[in-house]
Amino acid sequence: MQIPEVEISERALLSSAKTALIIVDMQNDFVHEDGALSVPAAAATVAPIAGLLERARSAGAKVIFTQDWHSPDDPEFSIWPRHAVAESWGAEIVEELAPLAGETLIRKLRYDAFYGTPLAHLLHTWGIENTVIVGTVANICVLHTAGSAALRWYRVILPRDGVSALSDFDMHAALRQVSFLYQGMITTTEGVVFS
């Protein structure tokens, strides 16, 4: 069986006024080596995401952080080990990517950042057309959020060096779904250019 290629675009030129950078679940429990559900590849994405975040802030693009946020007895813990419990160290955004005052933080109960949150309303209110999505985990929370954005007719841009997964297979599957099924653009963090 032949594995489909995923096209990588060198550059995504985006209007900062119509673009939101969505940073998915870059929390201690996923990124830090001592986290409850540590994704080993996630640490390598912190610096590229930080650079993209700095450029988005400077350009005046909207910045949104999602935060997995669970009660101590969340039903999800029948699927995954206990993680991102509300108010815990594990639930905190990693220090290098800490939100600034006034930036939007979406606390989510499931994989999809749109599910049961005000995210769709905020993007609509702000007149957003483009969503640049980075974070972890590629084939879980990143993919479900990208899918929900695409199904609402937002253009999805996924910088591959700003996304991490538990395996190469999972990463490729996520990139393939975003590019093929959701007609999103796969690029790099440096390839995202704000105008």
141 is catalytic: yes
| 149 within some domain | yes
Asked if pLDDT for residue 1 goes beyond 80, the answer is no
What is the mean pLDDT of the segment spanning 146-174? 97
Asked if pLDDT for residue 155 goes beyond 90, the answer is yes
At residue 129, the pLDDT reads 98
Kindly report the number of other CB atoms within 10 A of residue 12's CB atom. 20
Asked if pLDDT for residue 23 goes beyond 80, the answer is yes
Give ∠ CA 139-141-143 in degrees, rounded to 5. Answer: 50
At residue 163, the pLDDT reads 98
| 2 within some domain | no
CA 135 – CA 122 distance, rounded (Å)? 20
What is the number of domains present in the chain?
Answer: 1
Q: Domain range for residue 121?
A: 12-194
Set 141, 146, 158, 166: catalytic member: 141
Q: Which domain CATH number covers 153?
A: 3.40.50.850
What is the mean pLDDT of the segment spanning 11-19? 98
Partner residues linked to 63 by β-bridges: 21
